[in-house]
Structures are given as structure tokens and as C-alpha cells.
A = this chain, B = another copy of it.
Amino acid sequence: MMKKVLGIDIGGTSVKLAAIRENGEIFHQWDILTRGQDEGQAIVPDILASIDDFLAKNDFSIDDFLGIGIGTPGTIDRDQGTVVGAYNLNWKKVQPIRQSFQAHFPGIPVYLENDANVAALGEQWLGAGDKNPNMVLVTLGTGVGGGVIVNDQLVVGSGAAGEIGHMVANPDGFQCTCGNQGCLETVASASGIVQTAQARAKTADANSSLREQIKNGQAVTTKDIFQAAEAGDIFAESVVEECMGYLGHALGQIASVLNPDTIVIGGGVANAGDYLLDKVKAHYLPHVYPSVRTTTDLKIASLGNTAGVIGAGSLVIKNLME
């Protein structure tokens, strides 16, 4: 029987769980709601109960699994197996995740990693990263996140590596939640693209129904903006050009320093697919060194929401094989 692992991806709305064979095949996958109330104290017990239920229903024992990998928001202490500052889970205090899991499942290896990093591991293993030892994932969602893999290892640096969303794209740009100005996140996240459209709508003189919508106070989404741009709305095109220009330039900076095989673009905004990819490449290619241009490729992520659980599962395999 092929060896198995459990991958868990804890998010603000739901917790995704998967039972994965060591070849990466998911043979069972399910979600539970994330109960954030009371400082999120129900989250871990809910996960443990859900795993117990899964094991019982399928006549498994936890010992049928090599280990458990967990991706979570917040700042991870990999040695201690704890997380702190996962605000969308209401985990303000240090959470002894590994200890809680091991108290419930004695003797089972438990690995904890940042959610952006496990998504990168997932895309590397079974997605657009295609098992390349050097890969970068940038996720364009509510914010802009990132995971960097070099020589087949996650890059954590002094703990905060992969803050691609906080590369300064435009020193004169929008205020960022981090306190700095003009971070990539302020122009290339879902909210950053909308923010850019709202700001440009004030002064742009293009004949545009999207611009009229914004000027009339209607809410627009990133999807609206990309759809209008693809349909030829000049104002929407200019917003996409500007935002994807910053992204292309930033990815060029990363490629010049790391020359990875692939930079994978994921997150909800990346659902715009090839249209987005072409726009980013148009700004990426002129800004990278010739030998990097031919060796570092940009691709759209291929695993969608399952990248996290797959990458979380791969943590177990990577760690046990080292």
C-alpha cells in the first residue's frame, strides 16, 4: 500500500483537509468551517475531531499516515511548531499547534508552515512549478503573497522572506497597510487593482463605461476591470496595463536575483488567465537580463485552491526524506 499523508490548509473562512498518497494523489478531500469566535479557540479541536471522523469512517488509524502537514496564516516558529499573529483566524496569542496535534495523535510527525509557502510547495510539486528546484509563487488575492523555493528548499530567511507584496513598486504610490508607500500589494492585489481604477477614474478622460460606473459610485471588482479591458474598454485597459506593469517589473527584479525556472502567478486575480499573463509578460520581458529572459518562465498557477493542502502534505514528505 502506498504511503499516505494528511495536508491541512487553515484559512479565514474554511479549513481544507486532504488525505494524499505519497505520489501526490488526493484520495479524500473535505472542508470544515473556520470558527473564529472566542480567539479562534475552536479551530484546532474542530480539525482534530474532523480527522477522527474521517479516520473512523474509512477504517483508518492515524498510524496509517506518515505525518500531518499544516499551512496557516501568521508568523510560524518552525522549531516550536507554533504560530502567532494569524489575525484572520483571531489567533492573536501564540498557538501551540504542533503540541495540540501531538497530544491528540501521539508519535505522529507534525509540520507547520506559512500558508503562502505551502501553496508554493504545492504548485512546485504537482502544479505549474513542475517539480523544478527553483520556483517562485506570487499570489494575487486580497493581498499579494509569495513563496520562494531555492535549491528545492523553502526560503524563510530571518522569518519574513517571500514578502513579494511589500516590494515597493511605486515609491510615490498608495499608502500600504504595512505602513510603507507604494507596495506591490497596493496595485496588484484584488483591492489594489480596484483602488487604482478608482483613483484613475477621477482624472482619466477615456470614454469608458467602467469609468462611468466608478464615477457614479458603483462598486466594481477586479473581475469587472479585467473583463472590461478584454472587451476593449480603454480606461480598463489602462488600469490593467498600469497594475500588471508594476507586477511585471517586480517579477523581473526577482528573476534577475534568483533566475528560477518558473515564476508562478496564483490567487483569485490570476483567474484572468492568459490575458493577465500576456500583460505581465509584456512588462517582464523587456526588464530582465537576456540570459534570464530565456530561462525564467512566467506561468499561471494550475492547482487553484488545492495548492495549499497538497503543499502542506508535501511538507511531511520533504521533511521525512531529508
* Interfacial residues, chain A to chain B (CB-CB below 8 A): 75, 134, 136, 146, 148, 150-151, 153, 155-164, 166-168, 171, 178-181, 183, 249-250, 252-254, 256-261, 286-292, 295-296
Known: A150-B155, A155-B258. A163 touches B253 (CB 8 A): no
Shortest C-beta distance, A133 to chain B (Å), equals 9
Shortest C-beta distance, A73 to chain B (Å), equals 15
- The docked-state distance in angstroms from the alpha carbon of A261 to that of B157 is 7
B290 & A158 in contact (Cβ 8 Å cutoff): no
Known: A155-B151, A249-B168. A163 touches B289 (CB 8 A): yes
A295 & B158 in contact (Cβ 8 Å cutoff): yes
Query: Across the interface, which residues of B come within 8 angstroms of A157, CB to CB?
Result: 134, 150, 258-261, 295-296
Which listed residue, B146, B180, B290, touches A287 by the CB 8 Å rule? B180
- The docked-state distance in angstroms from the alpha carbon of A287 to that of B168 is 6
Q: Taking CB as reference atom, which chain B residue is nearest A245?
A: B171
Which of A160, A163, A164, A291 has the most CB atoms of chain B within a 10 A radius of its CB? A160
Query: Across the interface, which residues of B come within 8 angstroms of A156, CB to CB?
Result: 259
Q: Taking CB as reference atom, which chain B residue is nearest A297?
A: B158
Question: 14 A-B contacts, Cβ less than 8 Å apart?
Answer: A146-B257, A155-B258, A159-B291, A160-B259, A160-B292, A161-B259, A163-B292, A164-B257, A167-B257, A168-B252, A168-B287, A171-B249, A180-B289, A253-B253
10 nearest CB pairs, A to B:
A157-B259, A158-B295, A166-B289, A161-B259, A168-B287, A160-B291, A160-B259, A163-B256, A163-B289, A167-B256
Query: Across the interface, which residues of B come within 8 angstroms of A249, CB to CB?
Result: 168, 171
- The docked-state distance in angstroms from the alpha carbon of A291 to that of B159 is 9
Q: A146-B257, A148-B258, A167-B253 are in contact. List 10 more A-B contacts (CB 8 A).
A: A134-B155, A134-B158, A150-B155, A151-B153, A160-B292, A161-B257, A161-B259, A162-B257, A162-B259, A166-B288
- The docked-state distance in angstroms from the alpha carbon of A155 to that of B259 is 9
Shortest C-beta distance, A217 to chain B (Å), equals 34
Query: Across the interface, which residues of B come within 8 angstroms of A171, CB to CB?
Result: 249, 287
Q: Taking CB as reference atom, which chain B residue is nearest A157?
A: B259
B151 & A256 in contact (Cβ 8 Å cutoff): no
- The docked-state distance in angstroms from the alpha carbon of A146 to that of B252 is 16
B290 & A159 in contact (Cβ 8 Å cutoff): no
A168 & B290 in contact (Cβ 8 Å cutoff): no
Q: Taking CB as reference atom, which chain B residue is nearest A254?
A: B257
Query: Across the interface, which residues of B come within 8 angstroms of A136, CB to CB?
Result: 257
Q: Taking CB as reference atom, which chain B residue is nearest A138?
A: B257
Shortest C-beta distance, A158 to chain B (Å), equals 4
Which of A161, A250, A286 has the most CB atoms of chain B within a 10 A radius of its CB? A161
Shortest C-beta distance, A190 to chain B (Å), equals 20
